[in-house]
């Protein structure tokens, strides 16, 4: 029953029937535990142990995991707790950690943004300059370029364009060279201006003849600069070697990858080990079990309190165990499908989609996606992100072929090129002869994903380096 305000400003009772799906707090908790990404799982375990007195984190490595006092109190516990101990669920959640796992100590390295802001504060103490400068730094894209027009920044802060340009120029003097440029041309120019004597000819070409440089018009540049063609070729070759994207080398970033899954070959089969070195050991706190064993010796409020939190603790441990089983089922299915890849290489990779894994494991696609996120696997062929084993599929000669195989075929074709460089249409024709029906747009998309330039650019680059 609800009250609604009508046009005559009067309140009336209105009865409305509607169907809503509502999850209980326990269902929400179960979904959260079973779907949470691995990197957030450690935080959740600590969170549960702090909020629930019936759970504790045990740090003694010499603990005998099966020596619990559960057997002594099993017969006198309430029916639900009895059921818990009788089922194939442990009274603890222990991380599966490989023996002699090396601990990687990652030093703190400041991010590019922190580095630039620190440099800015060392150069100036003016509050307005710092405010505008930090706004510019926060506006840099992943390549280190400033996408926002200077005019927009000046209007936002209500200052003159010249002031914003001056502040941006100050940031451009910081490391890495080329930072805060507006485009690749300005980035290359900024890098050269650090050593103008070394880049005298190249700087002239970038400043005054950039369009001719982009079109590889060597003759026109030589004519306008009144120099010989070989000199221009040499200069263009040196420009090509400059990286126009100042942050493409992940400035200030150190990453250590610890594989979460270790796959080793044992005879004809593969053995899978789950590695969870950072997860704490979570178990039931048996100190309170005597309250449930002899409830008459304690007041009703205490017994209800212990029962409430014990029920939740049991439920949480079951959810953690369910999550582990689901994760292992997903990994087992992926490795089972990609055995040929592990044996023979990428050309034998099978198509595998999230929907295929979901159907086989009876899990939701979003759950599988969360399991795969930030998960690395060590195999006899190297260390890969688990997502590497998934790919789309295309039909070829009555069977499905992985899109990763098609990418590899395109890569090998371009690597074997001689004097003649294959166009996208020619690649389509070659794949068609192998029974792979694919459009030119798809070839271009895969080629760009692998960082392979067009046939025209490949031909131009070959001329420059020859």
Shared-domain flag, residues 381 and 409: no
User: Please, are residues 54 and 309 in contact by the beta-carbon 8 Å criterion?
Assistant: yes
Least confident of 21-30, 169-178, 211-220, 416-425: 21-30
**What range does the domain containing 436 cover?**
393-466
pLDDT band at 92 (very low <50, low <70, confident <90, very high): low
The domain boundary residue, chosen from 391, 414, 442:
391
Same structural domain for residues 223 and 312? no
Whether a cis peptide bond, with omega within 30° of 0, leads into 146 is no
Q: How confident is the model at residue 245 (pLDDT cuts 50, 70, 90)?
A: confident
Q: Answer yes or no: do 236 and 275 share one domain.
A: no
What pLDDT, on the 0 to 100 scale, is given for residue 91?
A: 53
pLDDT bucket at 82, cuts 50 / 70 / 90: low
Phi-psi region of 100 (alpha: psi -120 to 50; beta: other; left: phi over 0): left
Would you say residue 70 has pLDDT above 90? no
Residue 461 pLDDT:
67
Same structural domain for residues 347 and 426? no
Q: Mean pLDDT across the stretch 186-208? A: 84
Question: Are 246 and 177 within 8 A, CB to CB?
Answer: yes
- Work out the pLDDT band at 81, boundaries 50, 70, 90: low
Total domains, the chain:
3
Please identify which residue in the block is written with the tokens 């005298």: 200
The encoded tokens of residue 1 equal: 């029953």
Token code pair at residue 63: 């603990």
Stronger pLDDT, 428 or 366, i.e. the higher one: 428
CATH of the domain at 182: 1.10.10.1330
The whole-number average pLDDT for the span 329-334 is 93
Q: Which residues pair with 3 in a beta bridge?
A: 13
Residues 122 and 222 in one domain: yes
Token readout for 341 is 């890849």
Domain check: are 148 and 78 in the same one? no
Task: Give the pTM.
Answer: 0.58
What integer is the mean pLDDT of 411-417?
Answer: 84
* Final residue of a structural domain among 376, 391, 406: 391
Check if the beta carbon of residue 263 is closer than 8 Å to that of residue 271: yes
CB 145 within 8 A of CB 137: no
Residue 98 has pLDDT above 60, yes or no: no
Q: Hunting for tokens 């400059």 — which residue is that?
A: 242
Q: Give the per-residue pLDDT at 202.
A: 85
Query: Does a cis peptide bond (omega within 30 degrees of 0) precede residue 78?
Result: no
Instruction: With cut-offs at 50, 70 and 90, classify the pLDDT of residue 333.
Output: very high
Report the relative pairing of strands 376-379 and 261-266 from DSSP bridges. Answer: parallel
CA distance readout (Å), 324 to 276, 281, 358, 415: 11, 14, 16, 43
Query: To which H or E segment does residue 93 belong?
Result: strand 92-93
Q: How far apart are CA 121 and CA 455, in angstroms?
A: 47
Q: 214 and 142, same structural domain? A: yes
Supply the pLDDT for residue 65: 44
């Amino acid at each position: 029953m609800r009250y609604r305000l009508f046009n005559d400003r009067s309140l009336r009772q209105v009865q409305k029937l509607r169907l809503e799906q509502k999850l209980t707090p326990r269902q929400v908790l179960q979904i959260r535990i079973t779907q949470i990404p691995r990197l957030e799982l450690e935080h959740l375990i600590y969170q549960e142990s702090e909020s629930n007195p019936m759970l504790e984190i045990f740090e003694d490595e010499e603990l005998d995991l099966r020596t619990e006092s559960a057997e002594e109190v099993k017969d006198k516990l309430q029916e639900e707790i009895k059921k818990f101990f009788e089922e194939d669920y442990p009274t603890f959640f222990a991380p599966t950690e490989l023996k002699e796992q090396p601990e990687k100590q990652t030093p703190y390295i400041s991010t590019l943004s922190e580095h630039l802001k620190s440099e800015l504060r060392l150069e100036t103490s003016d509050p307005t300059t710092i405010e505008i400068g930090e706004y510019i730094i926060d506006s840099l894209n992943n390549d280190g370029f400033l996408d926002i027009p200077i005019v927009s920044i000046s209007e936002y802060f209500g200052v003159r364009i010249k002031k914003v340009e001056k502040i941006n120029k100050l940031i451009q003097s910081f490391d890495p060279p080329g930072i805060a440029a507006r485009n690749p041309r300005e980035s290359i120019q900024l890098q050269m201006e650090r050593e103008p004597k070394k880049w005298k000819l190249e700087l002239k070409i970038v400043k005054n003849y950039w369009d001719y440089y982009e079109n590889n018009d060597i003759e026109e540049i030589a004519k306008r600069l009144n120099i010989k063609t070989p000199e221009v070729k040499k200069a263009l070759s040196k420009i090509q070697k400059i990286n126009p994207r100042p942050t493409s080398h992940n400035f200030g970033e150190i990453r250590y990858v610890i594989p979460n899954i270790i796959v080793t070959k044992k005879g004809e089969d593969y053995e899978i080990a789950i590695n969870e070195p950072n997860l704490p050991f979570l178990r039931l706190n048996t100190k309170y079990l005597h309250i449930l064993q002899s409830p008459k010796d304690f007041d009703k409020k205490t017994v209800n309190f212990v029962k409430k939190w014990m029920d939740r603790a049991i439920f949480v441990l079951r959810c953690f165990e369910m999550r582990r089983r689901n994760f292992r089922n997903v990994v087992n299915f992926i490795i089972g499908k990609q055995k040929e890849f592990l044996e023979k290489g990428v050309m034998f990779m099978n198509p595998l989609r999230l929907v295929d894994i979901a159907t086989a494991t009876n899990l939701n696609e979003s759950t599988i996606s969360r399991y795969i996120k930030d998960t690395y696997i060590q195999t006899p062929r190297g260390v890969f992100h688990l997502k590497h084993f998934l790919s789309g599929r295309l039909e070829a000669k009555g069977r499905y072929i992985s899109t990763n195989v098609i990418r590899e075929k395109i890569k090998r074709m371009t690597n074997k090129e001689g004097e003649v460089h294959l166009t996208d249409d020619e690649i389509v024709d070659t794949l068609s002869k192998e029974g792979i029906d694919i459009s030119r747009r798809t070839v271009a998309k895969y080629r760009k994903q692998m960082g392979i330039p067009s046939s025209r650019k490949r031909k131009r680059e070959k001329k420059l380096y020859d």
